[in-house]
Amino acid sequence: MNRTRARLSDGREIVYYDEAPGRVPVPDPRGLPPVEPVCETRRHPLTGAHVTITAPRNPRPLLPPADECPLCPGGPASEIPDPSYDVVAFENRFPSFDVRTPPVPPEIDGVERARGAGRCEVVCFTNEHSTSMAQLPVSRVRMIIDAWADRTAEIAAVPGVRQVYVFENRGVEIGVTLHHPHGQIYGYPFITPRTDRMLTMAAAHPDLFADVLKAERAGGRVVLPGEHWTAYVPAAARWPVEVHLMPHRHVPDFTALDAAERDELAVLYRDLLRRCDALYGTPLPYVAGWHQAPTGNDLLRLHLELFSIRRAPDKIKYLAGSESGMAAWINDVSPEDIAARLRAAG
């Protein structure tokens, strides 16, 4: 993999990852004004959770036509000036967190307040607009994994970043704003509530992830068993379709994976995505989120949580009163049934 760095016209960084060496980046012709992000966090006084306020994100593009896609290469609206690319990552033009955010007063009406100093990146998986991660060759998925590891290392080193989250939103039902195959990476300036809860559980149970994986591998919900990874539907699945993909070795993040683990991950992850699309005979809307340990903490084991709100071919699971209001989950689908159907979908 060959890495080439450049800058967009407003100063944001763009990084190309190519199979072949020798890329000479094309200058960004748009003449954008310098980035002036306004991102802040406020700590909810009743729960202690951080809420991010970032009003400048509101005007971001919403499902533009293919000829105006900002992730297709070289077009007048493109964020990627070059006429082609393999994999590319760049700082989000509409970030939730940015180290360039100016200082804010420490409180507002008694609520703790801080600038949203972090980093948000977009990762484009291919320059082909009408495809998906599931349809890419294994070699490209492997390159994406290497790019995720490289970006994780760099974003974790950004001052103020506490946690790096790699994820892909796929499908209009999930709420994507761009159709082009891509994912995102957030460098949070705080530890997220889900991660904080997992760290609490892991601190009380030092072998938590190993024991969970051992129990799941012995159960009936394994979808894909591998030498280095296992994909399974968790016994306490919250979502109608939910699959976890966990390495057999305790590693905190992508950077700690060895070559064999990355090779197998590329094969199993693509296989899993294809099974998800075959489940209902139509592309599955999903969130594929990679849990990684916070910076300086190795209690959490790297793992994927892929979930979908589709609970039947023509039905969507809406998060209503219990889930949205109380964070008390009610699943309408049996995890054992979904696991069996995903195994059969291969």
Q: What letter would DSSP give residue 331?
A: -
> CB-based contacts of 76: which residues, under 8 Å, 6+ apart?
none
Q: Mean pLDDT, to the nearest integer, of 201-213? A: 97
Q: Mean pLDDT, to the nearest integer, of 28-38? A: 93
Question: What is the spatial distance between Cα 3 and Cα 107, in angstroms, rounded to a whole number?
Answer: 42
Task: Check residue 75 and give its pLDDT.
Answer: 79
pLDDT tens-place string over residues 113-155: 999 999 999 999 999 999 999 999 999 999 999 999 999 999 9
Task: Check residue 61 and give its pLDDT.
Answer: 84
The active-site residue out of 50, 179, 182, 291 is 182
Per-residue CA distances from 295 to 157, 160, 161, 190 (Å): 9, 10, 8, 10
Question: What is the spatial distance between Cα 5 and Cα 338, in angstroms, rounded to a whole number?
Answer: 43
pLDDT tens-place string over residues 247-287: 999 999 999 999 999 999 999 999 999 999 999 999 999 99
Tokens of 62: 């919403």
Question: Roughly what angle, to the nearest 10 degrees, separates helices 193-204 and 208-218?
Answer: 90
Q: What letter would DSSP give residue 254?
A: G
Per-residue pLDDT for 55 more than 90?
no
Per-residue CA distances from 331 to 97, 237, 277, 279, 310 (Å): 32, 7, 20, 18, 11
Q: Do 241 and 310 meet the contact criterion of CB atoms below 8 Å apart? A: yes
Outline which parts of the chain fall under CATH 3.30.428.10.
2-189, 194-344
Per-residue pLDDT for 57 more than 90?
no
Percentage of the chain exceeding pLDDT 70: 100
Task: Check residue 336 and give its pLDDT.
Answer: 98
* CATH classification number, 194-344, choose in 3.30.70.890, 3.30.2350.10, 3.30.428.10, 3.40.50.720: 3.30.428.10
Amino acid symbol at 107: E
**Which is more confidently placed, 282 or 56?**
282
Local confidence band at 28 (pLDDT 50, 70, 90 cut-offs): very high
Q: Mean pLDDT, to the nearest integer, of 89-109? A: 96
Specify whether 182 is catalytic.
yes
User: What's the CATH code, domain 2-189?
Assistant: 3.30.428.10
Tokens of 89: 């990552």
Per-residue pLDDT for 76 more than 90?
no
pLDDT tens-place string over residues 59-75: 888 889 988 999 999 97
Q: Mean pLDDT, to the nearest integer, of 74-99? A: 95
Q: Degrees (nearest 5) of the Cα angle 86, 189, 292? A: 55
Q: Degrees (nearest 5) of the Cα angle 213, 217, 218? A: 120
Average pLDDT of the chain is: 96
Local confidence band at 107 (pLDDT 50, 70, 90 cut-offs): very high
Task: Check residue 77 and give its pLDDT.
Answer: 82
Task: Check residue 183 and give its pLDDT.
Answer: 98
Question: What is the spatial distance between Cα 103 and Cα 120, in angstroms, rounded to a whole number?
Answer: 18
Residue 166 is inside which H or E element, if any? strand 163-170
CA 87 from centre of chain = 15
pLDDT tens-place string over residues 289-345: 999 999 999 999 999 999 999 999 999 999 999 999 999 999 999 999 999 999 999
pTM of the model: 0.97
